[in-house]
Chain A
Amino acid sequence: MALSITEECVACQACEPVCPNDAIRFKSGIMRIDKNACTECAGYHELPQCVEICPVEGAITNADGTPMNPPGTLTGIPRKKKSV
Chain B
Amino acid sequence: MNIVPESGVGSASALVEEHPCYSAGAAHRYARLHLAVAPACNMQCRYCNRKFDCANESRPGVVSGVLSPEQAVQRAGEAMRRLPHLRVIGFAGPGDPLANRERVFATCKPLRLQFPELHLCLSTNGLCLPESVRDIVDHGIRHVTITLNTLDPEVGAAIYSWVFWKQRRRRGLEAARIVLEQQLAGLSALLAQGVLVKVNTVLIPGVNAEQVPAINRLVSAAGVFSHNVMPLISAPEHGTYYGVMGISGPSEEELHQVRSRCQGSAHLMTHCRQCRADAAGLLGEDRQAELRPVSLLGNRVIPIHRPKPALLAKAVLLAVATSTGERVDTHFGHAHSFRVYRVTGERIEYLEERRVPRYCQGDDRCEVTDDVLDNALQVLRDCQGVICARIGYTPWQALAERGIVPDNNHANRPVREALRQTALQLQENSGSRNCGLAAAC
Contacts and interface: CB of A to CB of B under 8 A. Distances in A.
For the side of the interface on A, what is the size category? Answer: 20 to 34
Interface string A55-69: 100000100010000
A55 B41 contact: yes
A9 B395 CA distance: 12
B394 A65 contact: no
Interface of B: 39-42, 44, 46, 50-52, 95, 99-100, 102, 161-162, 164, 167-169, 241, 244-245, 300, 331, 333-334, 365, 367-368, 390, 392-394, 397-398, 411-412
A65 B367 CA distance: 12
B195 to A, nearest CB: 25
26 contacts: A7-B368, A7-B392, A11-B39, A12-B41, A12-B50, A13-B40, A14-B40, A14-B42, A14-B164, A16-B40, A17-B40, A28-B394, A29-B397, A29-B398, A30-B394, A47-B167, A52-B169, A53-B42, A53-B164, A74-B162, A75-B44, A76-B241, A77-B241, A81-B245, A82-B244, A84-B412
A36 interface: no
Given A53-B42, A55-B41, 5 more contacts: A9-B392, A11-B393, A13-B40, A14-B40, A75-B241
B365 A65 contact: yes
A4 B14 CA distance: 50
Interface of A: 6-14, 16-18, 28-30, 45-47, 49, 52-53, 55, 61, 65, 74-77, 81-84
B161 A14 contact: no
A17 B40 CA distance: 10
Nearest to B103: A13
Given A28-B394, A29-B397, A10 B169 contact: no
A11 B40 CA distance: 9
Q: Which of B169, B333, B390 has the largest number of chain A CB atoms within 10 A?
A: B169
Main SS class of interface, A: loop
Contacts of A53: 42, 164, 169
B118 to A, nearest CB: 26
Contacts of A13: 39-40, 100
B393 A29 contact: yes
A74 B161 contact: yes
Contact of B167 (A29, A49, A75): A49
A11 B52 contact: yes
Q: Top 8 nearest A-B pairs by Cβ distance?
A: A14-B40, A29-B394, A11-B393, A53-B164, A52-B169, A12-B39, A7-B333, A7-B392
Nearest to B389: A83
B164 to A, nearest CB: 4
B40 A12 contact: yes
A10 B50 contact: yes
A72 to B, nearest CB: 11
